Structure 1
Amino acid sequence: MTYTPRAVAGMLGVAPTTLRTWDQRYGLGPSLRTDGGHRRYEDADVEVLRRMVVLTGQGVAASSAAVLARHEPQTRPSVARSPLTWQNAISAQRSLLAAAKRLDEPTMSDLADQLITDHGVVSAWEAVFVPALVELGELVADTGQGVEIEHLASGSVLFALRGIPRASGPGVLSALLSCAPDEQHWLPLEALGAALSEQGRTWRNLGARVPADALYDAVTRLRPAVALVWAHRRELALRVPLEEFGARPGTVLAVAGAGWDGLELPSYVHRPATLTEAIRLVVDRTGS
């Protein structure tokens, strides 16, 4: 597929003028132009720009980020992953929470990255990250304090998840991930995306608070193998007009999160109950 500058800007969350500047100053432009001279980006171009966005967001100077963005990220070394035992998980949770309460972001990021490297995204997410983040969330709810701790911890986990090289290439987009309208908890979608990257699947995350019409337009334009909508509360799930999407040829519509519990869903909507089930749904739809 090819994309217009406006479409790419929307995918990456930057202004079209930013893309134009990066093209003019650093040569990070589209590979194709139409007969009429209009710029068109390919998937490989988008991945370079995605790395540029991540690097500049981490504080790397734009000129240096442009050089780094042109190079494919190195694949993590293939190592045998040991099982994450209950004792290991409890110890890792305590270490992560202790670092969080010290506001020690470098240590949190290192711990999160090591857990993913040693045990994979699913084990690290389910056995360590979720319990630790839930405990921090309960601390904020109970005391009204500690928001800064929770935010730094979430950011450290996000940084580690995004360290997994993204799959890229031509063909059907494996998964389009999106929050329900007004849903702000989008970290679970990043965990799913990182796990899909481990499986070599392509994905995009529209992020938090996605209006229903924006999600509909994105599904229509990108035609992913699976489109999954996340909601952690019932009232947020109810704001997704599933009936308007209908059964779409070539795209499976799925929902995830506690917000969908107990709701009656159309027959064409899938409801994976766990991260592993969501991964399997995408893998099954996109082949071996």
Structure 2
Amino acid sequence: MNEQGRNRLIEQALDQLELFPIREVSRLTGVNAVTLRAWERRYGLIRPTRTDSGHRLYSQADIDDIRRILGWLERGVAVSKVGSILARGHALAGQAGDTTGAWLRWQQQIRQALQRFDVAGLDRLYDEVFAANTLDQVFAEVFMPVWHDLAAGQGEYGQTSEWLFLDQFLRGRVFARMQLAHTPRSRTVLLAALPGLRHELELLVASLTLGSDDVGVTTLAAGQPLQELALACERLRPDALVLLSHQPPTAEVCRRLVRLVAGLHCPLLLAGEASEVAQESLAGSPIACLGAQGSVMRQRLRQFLAGQLDT
């Protein structure tokens, strides 16, 4: 086969694999080529394939990872910490096996419904996904990845409107489910957001995720002053106070948390990606870390309330 024919076969194969050159990836994600190369060389966050001449080619999975990276960076997570978060997500996807394909198909259908602003279609998909998955999977594997991708890619025309449409839809559905679950439990925790949590939906999803048959969750509105949480705990008498954040706590926030613990009559726990990042630095402190994954957070919360989990 001559060189021209070989190149044509390579191009056809690339078309079938939907591989994108770095210039196109920069256009799709808003991340310049210099940054993409740095993420690859310095942190190993993305591993594009290479042509014989050394040019980088990115798959759709690579592009999805880039958008997830942007989402974590927007939340304040250091780029050096993003690799472990991505690896955990990939490991969970690998454990899910064939289920991952169904999640991706649902995500694609959600995107199509959003492009049409089709609330009835979203309703049908929401019910369908809930019928086939656990609550954790509904949000962590299907709806929230789309929400995060749209939040990270709002530079493209129409994506901000689609993100707002999805955000409003999910807040309504999650709030309705919280109301249905609002029955007395043997234990109650108070959930609030640390300063810097920008979106109410993340707080509402965490409230659903933390609740169980024996643990009820009372959620304070986003924007609750940190210095008044002791007052809220004094009046509501929860078994524990859980603070949610996806940003690493600053030194000033850590100092404020230590002062808060001194004025509380219940334990203080940290949940979300912040607890993953800060777990080592908080070891031995009065603040316990619940993690960021739904089932892990629930298990650790139950263990802590039962006195089986140390800080």
- TM-score normalised per structure 1: 0.61
1:166 aligns with 2:181: yes
Distance 1:196 1:272, change over 3 A: closer
Equivalent in 239, 255, 258 of residue 273 of structure 2 = 258
1:246 aligns with 2:261: yes
CA distance in 1: counterparts of 2:149 and 2:100, whole angstroms: 17
Equivalent in 287, 301, 304 of residue 269 of structure 1 = 287
CA distance in 2: counterparts of 1:149 and 1:237, whole angstroms: 36
Report if the CA contact (8 A) 1:161-1:190 is conserved.
yes
Q: Residue type of the partner of 2:200?
A: W
CA distance in 2: counterparts of 1:184 and 1:229, whole angstroms: 14
Partner of 1:239: helix, strand, or coil?
Answer: helix
1:149 alignment counterpart: 162
Q: Residue type of the partner of 1:189?
A: L
Q: Which structure: greater helix fraction? A: 2
CA distance in 1: counterparts of 2:207 and 2:103, whole angstroms: 22
Report if the CA contact (8 A) 2:186-2:214 is conserved.
no
1:228 alignment counterpart: 242
Answer with 193-202 or 104-113: which moved more.
193-202
What's the RMSD between the two structures over aligned residues?
A: 3.0
1:191 alignment counterpart: 205
1:180 aligns with 2:198: no
Report if the CA contact (8 A) 2:227-2:260 is conserved.
no
Instruction: Give the number of aligned pairs.
Output: 204
Report if the CA contact (8 A) 2:230-2:263 is conserved.
no
CA distance in 2: counterparts of 1:102 and 1:237, whole angstroms: 45
Show the 5 A alignment for 1:1-288: 85-140=99-154, 142-143=155-156, 145-164=158-177, 165-169=180-184, 172-173=187-188, 175-197=189-211, 199=213, 201-234=215-248, 238-239=252-253, 241-246=256-261, 251-260=266-275, 261-262=277-278, 264-265=281-282, 267-273=285-291, 274-285=293-304
Deviation at 1:279, TM superposition (A): 1.3
- TM-score normalised per structure 2: 0.57
**What are the Cα deviations for residues 66-118 of structure 1, in whole angstroms up to 9, with x where unaligned?**
xxxxxxxxxxxxxxxx9981111101111111112222223223322332243
CA distance in 1: counterparts of 2:259 and 2:128, whole angstroms: 43
* Runs (5+) with no aligned partner, structure 2: 1-95, 307-311
CA distance in 2: counterparts of 1:155 and 1:118, whole angstroms: 23
Answer with 230-239 or 117-126: which moved more.
230-239
Distance 1:86 1:237, change over 3 A: farther
**What are the Cα deviations for residues 142-164 of structure 1, in whole angstroms up to 9, with x where unaligned?**
33752221122122222332343
Partner of 1:169: helix, strand, or coil?
Answer: coil
- The runs of 4+ residues in structure 1 deviating greater than 4 Å are 235-238, 247-250
Q: Residue type of the partner of 1:153?
A: L
CA distance in 1: counterparts of 2:246 and 2:264, whole angstroms: 27
Partner of 1:181: helix, strand, or coil?
Answer: coil
Deviation at 1:247, TM superposition (A): 6.2
Report if the CA contact (8 A) 1:225-1:282 is conserved.
no
Q: Residue type of the partner of 2:171?
A: L
* Runs (5+) with no aligned partner, structure 1: 1-81
Answer with 94-103 or 111-120: which moved more.
111-120
Identity across aligned pairs (percent)?
A: 18
Answer with 252-261 or 123-132: which moved more.
252-261
2:90 alignment counterpart: none
Deviation at 1:215, TM superposition (A): 1.9
Deviation at 1:178, TM superposition (A): 0.7
Partner of 1:176: helix, strand, or coil?
Answer: strand
